[in-house]
Amino acid sequence: MRVRPITLVLFLVLVLVTGYAVWWHRMATRLLTLLDHNTDLARAAGATITYQPPTLGGFPLGIAITANQVKVEKPNGLSWTADTVKASAPVWRLDDVVLTLAKGGHATLPHEGARPGLDATAAIAGARVALDLATGILRSMRVDLSHAVLTVAALPVPEGTAEGAPPPASLMPAGAYPLESFSITVERPATPPTDHTGTGLILHLDVAGMTVPPVRSLGPTLQRLVLAARVQGPLPAAPTVDAVTPWSKDGGTVEVDSLKLDWGDLHLVANATLALDDNLQPQGSGSAELSGLDSLVDALKDGGTLHPNQAALVRAGLALLAKPSANGGAPSLKLPITMQNHKLQIGPLAVGHYPDIVWH
C-alpha cells in the first residue's frame, strides 16, 4: 500500500509539532524551576512569599508564567504586594526574564528610629532579570516604576511626651510625594570578589520628576537624580552587625562613581568614596562641581543653617571663586565633599545631617 505524499507530510508535521511542544514544556518547567530557586533563596533569608499557583502560557515562541495575589514580607517589616506578576522570556533565552505588573504594585515599610513609616504605590511597574542558567542565581535586575507616589507617615509621639511638645524629628516631613519615573539596576559580577579590590555589586539609580519637601529657592520638584556606584569587597550576607563588621574591617567601601542632581537652578555632579567608621556609621570624601550656587546659599539661609550676614559673605566668596561656564551657562565651582560625624559638608558649607544607621 502506497503512502500518499500529503499523508507523509502531515505525519512529519505532527511529529515535529509534538516534539516541539514537549521541548517547549521542558523549557517552561526549567524556567519555573529557576524562578522557584530564587524564591527559595529569599525564603531561606527569612522572607515570607505567597502567591496563587502559577499558570503557563506564551506558546509557541515565548514562555509566560503568571502568578496572582503575590505578597512578599521581609524580616525588617518591608511588605510588597501585586495583584498579578507575569514572568516572560523567549524560549531560546531563559536567562533574560521580563517581569510585568499589569496593575502596578504596593509596598510598605514601618518606621524605625528617625525613619518614618513609608507607603509606596506605582501605577506602572516592571523589571528585567538576568539569570545564571547553570546555578539559577540572579545576576542582575532592573526595576522600573512610573507614576508612583511615596507617602510618608508622621512619626508616632513617644509615650509620656508633654502636650504641646515639638513632634519627633523625622528624615522627611509627613505627606505624599509623587514621582514621574524611578529606575534602579543592581548587578553582580560573574565571579564574586575575594577582597576589597574587587567589585561585589554595581548599582545604578535614575529618578525623574520627584516631588520633594519644598525649599523656597529650589522649588518642590527634583528634576533628576542619577547615581552610579559600586560596592567593593565580598557582599555582606545580611544588613547585620555580624555580617557588616568584617566587610568594613577588610576594607570594604562604596565607590560613588557619579552623582548628578538637578533641582531648580542647582546642578551638581559629584563622586566620592564611602566607608564605615568604628561605629559602623558612614564616612567619606569626594568632590563636587556645582552651578546655581546662589540658590544653594539661599536654601541654607532659609533652612537656618546660615544667618543672613553669613549667607552674604559666603555668596560673595563663592562668586569670586566660581569659574564661567564654557557654554555660556551659570558659573560653576569645584569643592570637596566630606561625610563625618553625621554631617554632610560641601566645601565650607554644612548642607545636611544624616541619622544613625541601625544595624540589627
Task: Report the run of H or E that residue 144 belongs to, with start and end.
Answer: strand 138-152
Name the residue with higher pLDDT: 53 or 302.
53
Contact 258, 228 (CB under 8 A): yes
Q: How many CA atoms lie within 13 A of 138 on its CB side?
A: 20
Domain contains 229: yes
Global pTM? 0.85
Vertex 357: Cα angle to 126 and 224 (nearest 5): 45
DSSP string across 89-105 = EETT-TTEEEEEETT-E
Locus of grid cell 556609621: 281
| Full residue range of the structural domain in which residue 77 is found | 5-152+174-281
Residue 14 inside a domain? The answer is yes
Which position has the higher pLDDT, 305 or 33?
A: 33
Cα–Cα distance, 302 to 309 (Å, whole number): 13
Q: Please state, in angstroms and as integers, the Cα–Cα distance from residue 7 to each residue in 2, 19, 39, 175, following that order.
A: 10, 18, 48, 71
Residue 327 maps to a domain: no
Pairwise pLDDT comparison (299 vs 338), residue with the higher score: 338
Q: Does residue 66 lie within any of the structural domains?
A: yes
Domain count, the chain: 1
Q: How many CB atoms within 10 Å of residue 11?
A: 11
- State the cell numbers at 335: 569643592
CA-to-CA distance for 245 and 131, rounded, in angstroms? 29
> For the segment 206-250, what is each residue's pLDDT rounded down to a tens digit?
999 999 887 778 888 999 999 999 999 998 887 888 989 999 999
Residue 315 lies in a domain: no
Residue 297 covered by a domain: no
C-alpha–C-alpha distance, residues 293 and 323, integer Å: 12
Q: Residue 48: is its pLDDT beyond 80?
A: yes
Considering the domain boundaries, does residue 330 fall inside one?
no
Mean pLDDT, the chain, rounded, equals 85
Residue 141 lies in a domain: yes
